[in-house]
Chain A
Amino acid sequence: MRRLVLFAALFATATALGGESKSKSKSPEAATPATPAATPAANPAAGTTPTPDAIAAYREAEMMAIAKTFKAMSMISKGEVLRPQGEFIGHAESLHNLSLDLVSQYPAGTAHGEAKSEASPAIWTDAAGFAAAAAAFETATAQVLAAAKISDNEAVKTGMGAIGQSCGGCHEKFRLED
């Protein structure tokens, strides 16, 4: 039970971080923190569908939460700050959860030019490549989480490198740089 509460709190924090970032990145208003049990697609206003801009803004909010969580983990892993092991594990859990179910957030009609998004058309023309990149990210975050739980610091270091490679590798092909 305690783990569930901790997880929910950390997930909420990670999501909220995307809106409270002190950096100059343009983030939308903080997404309403959701508990893990919430139905993803539920919409209280019957008959309305999310606009392409909303879909793009939500996934950008998640991407910013990913960046901040990864940054926090990186600082701990590099010894730039000293934090309890449990805190690192909490971040790793958040990051892994953010890595799940990415592909479904890119429905047709939400590419750069169709929505306020940096999503490259290559996401749809090379759907297999995109799915593979998303899967690589999911795997990399799972590996760091597993390594952190058993305090395997060497595996965490290597795993952090693998996460970074999966971020950059996907961005290289599927995110447009403006």
Chain B
Amino acid sequence: MLLWLTVALAGPPAVEPLASADAVRGEQIAGLGACVACHTTAGSPELAGGYAVRTAYGVFYGRNLTPDPTGLGGWSYADFVTAMRLGRGADGHALWPAFPYASFSGLSDRDLSDLWAWLGTIAPVVQDDRPHEIKGAYRGGLGLWRMMAFRPATTFDDGLTDDGAAIRDEATRGRYLVDALGHCGECHTPRSSVGVPKRHRYLQGWDDLHAPDISALGWNTSELASFLDDGMTPDGDVTGGEMFRVIREGTSRLNDADRRAIAAWITALAD
């Protein structure tokens, strides 16, 4: 509680992107983070926003992330880190968790730097953000939700070696990719009626989103790693729905070691 209070009262962290910031790597990070999925509307320029995320709590519109002033043009890197790790906008207002900062909170300095570098390469688009259409019952509930459901991360270990070239520890890497970047729990962990994740039912499926229980798949690590590459289940079926997009734009673009780390972490849950 004290930590939460300290974090809540603190200003944005005084940070600079790492010197190693890599926009090309940032694009791959963005694939697994699925930024495009919620911040780009079909037929409109990349990351210009306007996409409708429809939830039981209302419709939330992904904002403009392009470098234009109507997007993130006026944001500093510190503002970006504050949004991703603390769920607050540049002017300090709390953000709605349709933007999954509860997961992104654990992103490493390396990944945030790379993402910021990639965002800087996007073509600026003039598009004002569209106000969310939040159902009346939930409109005043953001503060309460944050108190109940949001714990800012305190460690940001991506499981890689210092130079980012290899996996240092597979379990750490797997947990990082699942919980922080891949934010798998945002769909696969069930929630209460007020949107608080049921942590004791980690990855056990959320019927509202047709996201299945993946905590006890009965697949081995190779089968799951292979599924994350091409979407084929051990039965020969190929998944559809949202998960196929996750695979096509995210996990299929990882290297084998990262997919294996994800698979090892998830299959270990069944033990």
Q: How large is the interface on A (under 10, 10 to 19, 20 to 34, 35 or more residues)?
A: 20 to 34
Q: Does A52 contact B (CB under 8 A)?
A: no
Least distance between B159 CB and chain A CB atoms (Å): 27
Q: Which residues of B contact A169 (CB under 8 A)?
A: 244
* Complex partner residue of A177 from B236, B240, B245, CB under 8 angstroms: B240
Which one of A23, A161, A177 has the highest number of Cβ atoms from chain B below 10 Å of its Cβ?
A: A177
- B239 at the A/B interface (Cβ < 8 Å)? yes
Stretch at the interface among A5-13, A65-73, A123-131, A141-149: A65-73
* Number of B interface residues in the complex (CB < 8 A): 17
Would B240 and A74 count as touching, CB distance under 8 A?
no
Q: A66 — nearest CB in chain B belongs to which residue?
A: B236
- The CB with the most chain A CB atoms within 10 A, among B230, B234, B237, B243, is that of B237
- Specify which chain B residues have a CB less than 8 angstroms from the CB of A171 in the assembled complex: 238-241, 244
B238 close to A167 (CB less than 8 A): yes
Given A175-B240, A177-B210, A177-B240; A168-B247 close (CB under 8 Å): yes
* A174 surroundings in chain B (CB, below 8 A): 240
B250: min CB distance to chain A, Å = 13
The answer to whether B236 touches A172 (Cβ under 8 A) is no
- Inside 8 A of A164's CB, which chain B residues have their CB? 230-232, 238
Q: Is B253 an interface residue (CB 8 A)?
A: no
With a CB–CB cut-off of 8 A, which chain A residues contact B151?
none
Residues 42-87 of A at the B interface (beta carbon under 8 Å): 66-72, 74
| Contact status of A25 and B244, CB under 8 A, knowing A161-B230, A178-B210 | no
Interface status of B25 (Cβ within 8 A of chain A): no
By a CB distance below 8 angstroms, the chain A residues around B238 are: 67, 70, 164, 167-168, 171
The closest CB in chain B to the CB of A63 belongs to B237
Q: Is the CB of B239 within 8 A of A168?
A: yes
Is residue B163 contacting chain A, with contact meaning CB distance below 8 A? no
B208 on the A face (CB < 8 A): no
B240 partner residues in chain A, CB cutoff 8 A: 168, 170-175, 177
B248 proximal to A (CB < 8 A) = yes
Tell me the bound Cα distance from A25 to B230 in angstroms: 20
1/0 per position for B221-263, CB-CB distance to A under 8 A?
A: 0000000001110111111110111011000000000000000
Cα A72 to Cα B234 with chains together (Å): 11
> With A171-B241, A171-B244, A177-B241 given, is the CB distance from A70 to B231 under 8 Å?
no
Could you say which residues of chain B place their CB within 8 Å of the CB of A69?
Answer: 236
Q: Which of A148-178 contact B (CB under 8 A)?
A: 161, 164-165, 167-178
Binding site for A on B (CB under 8 A): 210, 230-232, 234-241, 243-245, 247-248
Known pairs A23-B235, A68-B235, A171-B240. 14 more at Cβ < 8 A? A67-B235, A67-B238, A70-B236, A70-B238, A71-B235, A74-B232, A165-B248, A168-B248, A171-B244, A172-B240, A172-B244, A173-B240, A175-B240, A177-B239
